């Protein structure tokens, strides 16, 4: 009788715990410094199942495999280094990050993060064209990905981006539903929180299409420094490059000597720029005597269209002539005005798709909304995912303990 009773209790407990979704409790893949030897593939799909797979994938692209026509699918959260990115300026962590591709070995495949997070990337380089991805060519898309708690530094060289260093041309680079919380430090020109540069070549123009994305770290450089995008170089004999940024926001601090922009910075005057439904919350500063720090567009373009854009009062020194149609907004008006975004209690403004991906929730109507006063106020959003991970793991431990005692 007792045995049957215990069996009944065990079955009930197993049923209850089986109802708990344990997929979110799977531990992130932590890099141990050893790349894997082979990537899992299926037709035109390439799977990144671990940090070791990500290391091998980067090596392969830098070695000349462009993955043209391939869909690279990230299937798990990845931790490259543990610890705090803000500490790595003085003490490097264990694992260096090598950008996926470079000027001579580009990425031509597309990356789908599938809502996963990559954290702890560290890079300290003396070369051009670096970021999570160093260089792309042709039609490349990067989507559904969060890059958090990371540190990228470039000394003496530029084109440093949180997600992509440079698109070399001959197609469109598409960034959608991407969240980047990275410290970017550069003592040279052209830095972008998400994308640093698009480069028109001798045969075709280069285009950038960005949507539903957010930068939430800090970005520092000499000239042409943007919260979301840095700089465009067009080849006049081929045509003007084009940048379209919609439904995106900058929460990070932007500091430059010359051109600094909350959304985008500068160009070679041959850029067609369209900025729609975008918001700048982060502080934008130009330290040079003749520097320009603007909330939306910090530099010069050939043609611009700014529609339904907002910037937080005092977030930048001025709104440039190119962004005259942008609207200044105070913190207490964020919730009632920005219908395409979620506004958190800490004043972080996130596209709804990004908020869903990283687990951020909107402030309640009765909660006072205050703008971020430092990077840490914004970067804490990513911690929500870690809390969910711990809760799920605890459930798994309790489940196994119950099994052992029955």
What tens-digit pLDDT sequence spans the chain (406 residues)? 444 443 343 433 333 333 333 333 357 999 999 999 999 999 999 999 999 999 999 999 999 999 999 999 999 999 999 999 999 999 999 999 999 999 999 999 999 999 999 999 999 999 999 999 999 999 999 999 999 999 999 999 999 999 999 999 889 999 999 999 999 999 999 999 999 999 988 788 999 999 999 999 999 999 999 999 999 998 888 888 999 999 999 999 999 998 999 999 977 777 889 999 999 999 999 998 888 899 998 877 777 788 999 999 889 876 555 556 688 888 889 888 998 999 998 889 999 999 999 999 998 877 777 766 544 444 444 434 443 444 444 444 444 444 444 4
For residue 155, the tally of other CB atoms under 10 A from its CB is: 12
Could you list the beta-strand ranges (E) of 257-323.
259-261, 264-267, 271-276, 279-280, 284-286, 292-294, 303-307, 310-312
Say what the pTM is: 0.86
C-beta separation of 265 from 226 below 8 A: yes
169: tokens are 């041309």
pLDDT given at position 383? 38
- What domains can you pick out in the chain, each with its CATH number? 2-405 (2.160.20.110)
Could you list the beta-strand ranges (E) of 157-213.
160-161, 164-167, 171-186, 191-192, 195-199, 206-211
C-beta separation of 191 from 230 below 8 A: yes
pLDDT given at position 365? 77
C-beta separation of 288 from 264 below 8 A: no
What is the DSSP pairing of strand 78-79 with strand 341-343?
A: unpaired
For residue 171, the tally of other CB atoms under 10 A from its CB is: 17
Residue given tokens 């840490």 in the structure block: 376
Q: Which helix (H) or strand (E) holds 388?
A: helix 383-405
What is the C-alpha end-to-end distance of the chain, expressed in Å?
15
What is the DSSP pairing of strand 271-276 with strand 303-307?
A: parallel
Nearest Cα neighbor of 81 from 159, 171, 182 is 182
């Amino acid at each position: 009788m007792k045995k049957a009773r215990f069996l009944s209790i065990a079955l009930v407990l197993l049923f209850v715990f089986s109802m708990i979704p344990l997929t979110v409790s799977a531990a992130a893949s932590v890099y141990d410094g050893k790349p894997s030897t082979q990537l899992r593939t299926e037709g035109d799909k390439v799977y990144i199942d671990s940090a070791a797979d990500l290391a091998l994938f980067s090596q392969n692209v830098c070695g000349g495999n462009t993955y043209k026509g391939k869909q690279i699918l990230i299937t798990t959260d990845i931790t490259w280094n543990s610890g705090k990115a803000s500490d790595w300026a003085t003490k490097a962590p264990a694992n260096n990050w090598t950008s996926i591709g470079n000027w001579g070995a580009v990425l031509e495949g597309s990356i789908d993060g599938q809502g996963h997070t990559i954290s702890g990337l560290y890079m300290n380089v003396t070369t051009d064209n670096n970021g999570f991805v160093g260089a792309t060519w042709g039609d490349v898309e990067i989507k559904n990905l969060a890059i958090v708690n990371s540190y990228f530094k470039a000394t003496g060289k530029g084109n440093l981006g949180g997600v992509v260093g440079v698109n070399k041309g001959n197609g469109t680079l598409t960034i959608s539903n991407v969240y980047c919380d990275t410290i970017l430090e550069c003592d040279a020109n052209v830095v972008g929180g998400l994308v640093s540069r698009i480069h028109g070549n001798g045969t075709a123009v280069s285009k950038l299409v960005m949507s539903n994305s957010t930068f939430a770290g800090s970005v520092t450089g000499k000239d042409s420094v943007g919260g979301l995008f840095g700089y465009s170089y067009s080849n006049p004999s081929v045509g003007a490059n084009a940048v379209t940024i919609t439904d995106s926001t900058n929460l990070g601090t932007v500091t430059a000597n010359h051109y600094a922009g909350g959304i985008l910075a500068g160009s070679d005057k041959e850029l067609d720029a369209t900025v729609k439904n975008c918001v700048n919350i982060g502080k934008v500063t130009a330290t040079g005597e003749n520097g320009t720090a603007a909330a939306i567009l910090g530099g010069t373009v050939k043609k611009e269209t700014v529609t339904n854009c907002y910037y937080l009062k005092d977030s930048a020194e001025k709104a440039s002539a190119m962004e005259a149609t942008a609207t200044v907004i105070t913190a207490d008006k964020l919730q009632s005005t920005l219908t395409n975004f979620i506004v958190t209690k800490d004043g972080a403004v996130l596209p709804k798709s990004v908020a869903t991906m990283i687990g951020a929730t909107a402030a309640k109507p009765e909660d006072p909304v205050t703008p971020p006063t430092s990077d840490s106020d914004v970067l804490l959003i990513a911690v929500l995912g870690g809390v969910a991970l711990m809760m799920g793991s605890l459930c798994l431990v309790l489940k196994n303990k119950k099994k052992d005692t029955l």
